[in-house]
């Protein structure tokens, strides 16, 4: 595979609070630490991935919303996360208005895909942090992506949510993006002492097989603290269990991609 072949991965879950943004920020930083050229796209109006990358979401003149609506260029919007070592397309509440305005456009579902195709050769990995709901922003992310990394907690109701999300991915695949597939299932806030964790993990392996990452992300205080300092965990406490887990995940992803060729 040539260095110019970029992998575009949407990080999604239709339920909030399952480590989606934590995964987006820390996977971006971990891939960057393996000398990969990484772009993180914040498609969530909450702008948490932007803040977690050390960028003030409210201090941005132009954001990914302006890019989607064609009122700013990529060069005007992209910013460097110094603490993470990757590039970022920042977001804030302006994305809510962009979501509404996009509805009126003929090519509304393809906006992000078109934009990213123009810069794909500058990156090895493009990660998209999706909103925790199925709206036009999420659809744009899934149309632009080659695959979806799903974060989930090992609890009973999470399996139900996973079924819904798998259905959505299949539907987008049929109608808008035939190449879309599941990149992997990442177990977050993992506590191996909890009995249910093992039972849910068994179910995941049964249905998704080797799509389930061997790496699981543990519950970790340092991981929870890092965003309030505007830092990926890797920059906040490199030796913490959380940081080490995301480094292991990045390594597993890189190995899988090398094997796939």
DSSP 191-212: -TTSHHHHHHHHHHHHHHGGGE
pLDDT at 2: 35
Lowest-confidence segment of 73-87, 127-141, 147-161 by average pLDDT: 147-161
Q: Compute the residue count for the chain.
A: 261
pLDDT at 67: 96
Give the mean pLDDT of 170-197: 90
Q: What are phi and psi of 139, to 5 degrees?
A: -60, -45
What tens digit of pLDDT does each residue of 75-105 get?
999 999 999 999 999 999 999 999 999 999 9
Give the mean pLDDT of 62-76: 96
Which tops the pLDDT comparison, 198 or 182?
Answer: 182
Q: How far is CA 22 from CA 76, 196, 217, 251, in A?
A: 26, 23, 10, 17
| Distance, C-alpha 42 to centroid of its chain | 8
Domain boundaries, the chain: 7-254
Q: What are phi and psi of 92, to 5 degrees?
A: -150, -165
Give the mean pLDDT of 40-65: 96
Conformation bin of residue 17: beta by default, left when phi > 0, alpha when psi is -120 to 50: left
7-254: in CATH 3.30.43.10: no
Mean pLDDT of the chain, nearest integer:
93
pLDDT at 237: 97
pLDDT at residue 1 above 70? Answer: no
Share of the chain above pLDDT 70, in %: 98
pLDDT at 142: 97
The torsion defined by the Cα of 103, 180, 243 and 154, in degrees rounded to 10, comes to 90
């Amino acid at each position: 595979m040539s260095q110019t072949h970029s992998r575009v991965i949407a990080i999604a879950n239709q339920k909030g609070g399952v480590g989606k943004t934590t995964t987006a920020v820390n996977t971006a930083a971990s891939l960057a630490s393996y000398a990969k050229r990484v772009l993180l796209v914040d498609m969530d109006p909450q702008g948490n991935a932007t803040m977690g990358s050390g960028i003030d979401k409210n201090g941005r003149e132009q954001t990914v919303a302006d890019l989607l609506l064609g009122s700013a260029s990529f060069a005007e919007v992209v910013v460097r996360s110094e603490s993470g070592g990757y590039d970022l397309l920042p977001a804030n509440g302006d994305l809510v208005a962009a979501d509404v305005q996009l509805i009126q456009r003929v090519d509304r579902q393809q906006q992000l895909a078109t934009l990213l195709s123009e810069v794909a050769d500058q990156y090895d990995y493009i990660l998209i942090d999706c909103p925790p709901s199925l709206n036009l922003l999420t659809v744009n992310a899934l149309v632009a992506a080659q695959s979806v990394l799903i974060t989930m907690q090992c609890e009973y109701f999470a399996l139900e949510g996973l079924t819904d999300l798998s259905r959505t991915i299949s539907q987008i695949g049929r109608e808008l993006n035939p190449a879309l597939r599941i990149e992997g299932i990442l177990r977050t806030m993992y506590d191996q002492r909890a009995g249910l964790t093992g039972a849910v993990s068994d179910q995941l392996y049964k249905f998704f097989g080797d799509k389930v990452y061997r790496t699981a992300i543990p519950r970790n205080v340092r991981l929870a603290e890092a965003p309030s300092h505007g830092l990926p965990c890797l920059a906040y406490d490199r030796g913490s269990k959380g940081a080490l887990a995301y480094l292991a995940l990045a390594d597993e992803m890189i190995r899988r991609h090398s094997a796939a060729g």
